[in-house]
Amino acid sequence: MRPNLSLAKLMSAALCLATVLTGPDAQAQAQAPAPAAAPAAPAHPDAIAPRPAAQPPATQTQSISIAAGSGMLLRLPQAAATVMSADPAVARVQPASPTSLFLMGVAPGRTTVVATTDNGSAIVQYDVAVTGGTPRPATGGGGGAPATPGLSSATAMAAQNAITQFVGGASGVRVRATGTAMVLEGTVPTAAAAQQTNAIARGYVGEKGTVTDNMTVLESIQVNVRVRIAEISRTITRQLGFNWQALGKGGNWQFGVLTGAATSGLISPLRPLGLSALSGASAVPYQLGAGYTSGTRDINGIVDALAADQLISILAEPNLTAQSGEAASFLAGGEFPIPVAGNGNGSTTSITVDFKQFGVSLAVVPTVLSSGRLNLRVRPEVSELSSVGAVSVPVAGGSLTIPALTVRRAETTIELGSGQSFAIAGLLQKSSTDATNALPGIGEVPVLGALFKSNDFQRGESELVIIVTPYIVKPTSNPVALSAPTDGFRPATDLDRILFGRQVAHAPSQTPVDAGFILK
């Protein structure tokens, strides 16, 4: 038993010694982080940080330094849809073309200019640093702007240098600064060069400034406008009526019966019964009449029948040539007088005469926007005298009839290319009228009632279209190339008129080649 006790004591002492030697280390290891978690700690930020999404590898970044009040033209790697300046108070951009833009320094500072495509992808990014110089007062900025508002001569000189450098043939353009306005003077070769010059100047004056264009375009642009007005109108009329009149006398009484409007005023029941009812009646077209007279009785009948078909065709093709930006008009027709009552003395009234135009007229204002692109304000009109809607004015000794006008007119502003056509107006109209006049009661009796009623049917159809076609044209130096309606016209001689029934004599044939050549 003793040896066993000694062995137990020995093992207990060894265990206590091991606890003393290893206890602190074990506690430290228990409190320390696990070795596997050590790599998760960000030992180096660059090792795990992703690239910023705003800086894709395909985007080019360029640094540009520009003085305030100056400008430069930047060429883009590809066509851009949108160009934006982060701070327009520091630098402003003005697109010159899809692949170039003007950059203008406004005030000292730094900003970013970005050009993007249609889908929003960045093409190029410019880090712009604007150094001190002559700030642009148009922005109304703070510390860098001069106390006196207006454009400086340095800004005008910078704009003139940019125009001379980037606009072909504009070396003679002079730029002056007057207050907040920039005045352009000199000559440019074409209208496109004038538009590009104005675009550069507008970029320098800003939103609050103005550009006054006093330049002269050496090559003027003419526009020929052709208008075609076509209309087809058809009217169908059918009329059929039975009109009766019976007159009689018995004792001291007189009787009269009248049906149908066609006989009104022609066979009057107030006419003495002893006279023939049709005697002295004025003739009315498309009527058949018959009468029976016996003593004190007089019976008359009139059949009113009309079948009419009317077809109207109108085709007018006026054309007019005008300079770009200028108004032009012409009229092929006439004028008719309209009396106008004025102030008189006492019982008299003074009459003056005004004249109203009618016929085929055309008024245009063409403006060339770019090569082959036009803005067109056009007003074609076709009018003719008409008795429908005419007014009769009583005058001494009779009446004066003033005719009405039937007008087809359109006025609009469109944009299209040279040689392109546009239907600026059209009309499709259909109308139908059916009228019946009958004697109440007996006019509703089947078969027999048809003899006591009148029918009037009318149907009309009309279709109208107006087509405009502009052309950018140039004058020709060969007058022979322009043909006229009188070319080759020869009046007929007496022999042509009497023997051959000709109104125009045959013109001599012209060879299509010059003299000296043999034509087979």
Q: Does pLDDT of 272 surpass 70? A: no
pLDDT in tens, 226-255: 999 998 988 898 887 776 666 666 666 665
Domain annotation for the chain: domains and CATH numbers: 60-140+149-217 (2.60.40.1380), 236-308 (no CATH), 311-479 (no CATH)
pLDDT in tens, 290-321: 666 676 666 666 677 778 888 888 888 988 99
Q: Does pLDDT of 423 surpass 60? A: yes
Q: Does pLDDT of 168 surpass 90? A: no
Three-state SS for 431-499 is EEEEEEEECCCHHHCCCHHHHHEEEEEEEEEEEEEEEEEEEEECCCCCHHHCCCCCCCCCECCHHHHHH
- Token reading at 26: 């074990």
Q: How confident is the model at residue 288 (pLDDT cuts 50, 70, 90)?
A: low
State if pTM tops 0.85: no
Q: How confident is the model at residue 257 (pLDDT cuts 50, 70, 90)?
A: low
For residue 56, the model assigns a pLDDT of 47
The mean per-residue pLDDT over the stretch 398-408 comes to 88
Q: How confident is the model at residue 325 (pLDDT cuts 50, 70, 90)?
A: confident
Q: How far apart are CA 376 and CA 366, in angstroms?
A: 5
Residues forming beta bridges with residue 235, ordered by sequence position: 310, 460
DSSP element (H, E) containing 128: strand 122-131
Which DSSP string corresponds to 397-421? TEEEEEEEEEEEE--EEEEEETT--
pLDDT in tens, 439-462: 787 777 887 777 777 788 889 898
Lowest average pLDDT, out of 50-59, 133-142, 292-301, 356-365, goes to 133-142
Specify the higher pLDDT residue, 225 or 298.
225
What is the number of other CB atoms lying within 10 angstroms of the CB of residue 451?
Answer: 16
The mean per-residue pLDDT over the stretch 151-158 comes to 81
Q: Does pLDDT of 159 surpass 70? A: yes
For residue 508, the model assigns a pLDDT of 62
The mean per-residue pLDDT over the stretch 463-488 comes to 85
Q: How confident is the model at residue 346 (pLDDT cuts 50, 70, 90)?
A: low
Query: To the nearest whole number, what is the mean pLDDT of the chain?
Result: 74
Q: CA quadruple 69, 70, 73, 76: dihedral positive or negative? A: negative
For residue 180, the model assigns a pLDDT of 82
Specify the higher pLDDT residue, 210 or 96.
210
- Cβ(437)–Cβ(457) under 8 Å? no
pLDDT in tens, 103-131: 888 888 999 999 998 888 888 999 999 98
For residue 136, the model assigns a pLDDT of 47
Specify the higher pLDDT residue, 290 or 64.
64
For residue 105, the model assigns a pLDDT of 84
Residue 327 identity: A
